Amino acid sequence: MLEDIKILLVEDERKIADSLKKGLEENTYHVEVAYDGLMGKKLFQTGSFDLVILDVNLPGMNGYDLCKEIRAQNEQVPVIMLTALSALDDKIEGFDAGADDYVVKPFDFKELLVRIRALMKRLRQVVPAGNTLQIGDLSMNLDSKEVIRDGKSITLTAKEFQLLEYLVKNKGRVVSRADIALNVWDIDFDTKTNVIDVYVTFLRKKLDRDFPNKLIHTQVGMGYILKEL
């Protein structure tokens, strides 16, 4: 038996919204619909939802901004973005805003169901064992100092661990070298030192080199960002 899963659907095209709601309810999901971004934000704040489906082009507040608002309140709830746009930039913007998945309109309803099930399954697998931070297939336990990526244990030095912790806590956000210097090394950033770049290189070797999906990204002229692409 499926447990009660409550979905917030934010979609301004009533025909699409109503047929999605009907289809999802036939698949045992509970659905609440908001027809604009502001209403979506309000509903999200008042209800506890297990998953959010967001159209990108919405009156009131667009889907990206709404997604950021939702992420500011809740890092865990899966968010699927719906859009008519298929350009890569839009996809990246959606992920930058904190979306977990992305479906391009017109889409097959079954495809959406598959994505929903995959996200709900992933959510159940994330066992918040003690004091754990997570991004994608990487988890770090702040108590035991264990770092695991895709089931493999990764050994980090104390400083590497602190740097990773800072990046994971700021995932999806560009952090400057000055931010890192202040928060990880507790020093004012000195442009003569390349210690931060050196440590980022160490982390990349340990965390990203053997995996196809890179988590650490350089934002030229700005700093670093930890995210799933």
Q: In this complex, which beta carbon is closest to Ca ion, that of residue 93 or of residue 165?
A: 93
Q: How far is CA 155 from CA 27, 183, 188, in A?
A: 43, 22, 28
Please state the closest distance from residue 12 (CB atom) to Ca ion, in A.
Answer: 5
Count of residues of this chain found to bind Ca ion when the rule CB under 5 A is applied: 3
Q: In this complex, which beta carbon is closest to Ca ion, that of residue 55 or of residue 100?
A: 55
- Which residues, at least 6 apart from 104, have a Cβ–Cβ distance to it below 8 Å? 83, 84, 85, 86
Q: Please say whether the beta carbons of 136 and 227 come within 8 A.
A: no
Q: In this complex, which beta carbon is closest to Ca ion, that of residue 106 or of residue 151?
A: 106
Beta strands (DSSP E) in the chain are 6-10, 30-34, 51-55, 79-83, 101-104, 132-135, 138-141, 147-149, 152-154, 216-219, 223-226
Q: In this complex, which beta carbon is closest to Ca ion, that of residue 62 or of residue 162?
A: 62
Q: Is 57 in the site for Ca ion (CB under 5 A)?
A: yes
- The residue of the chain with the least Cβ separation from Ca ion equals 57
Please state the closest distance from residue 62 (CB atom) to Ca ion, in A.
Answer: 9
Q: In this complex, which beta carbon is closest to Ca ion, that of residue 57 or of residue 170?
A: 57
Cα pseudo-dihedral 157, 158, 164, 166, rounded to 10: -170
List 12, 50, 100, 165, residue binding Ca ion (CB under 5 A): 12
Q: Which stretch binds Ca ion (CB under 5 A): 5-13, 46-54, 154-162, 184-192?
A: 5-13
Say how far apart CA 79 and CA 203 lie, in whole Å.
28
List 55, 100, 160, 165, residue binding Ca ion (CB under 5 A): 55
Residues in contact with Ca ion by CB under 5 A are 12, 55, 57
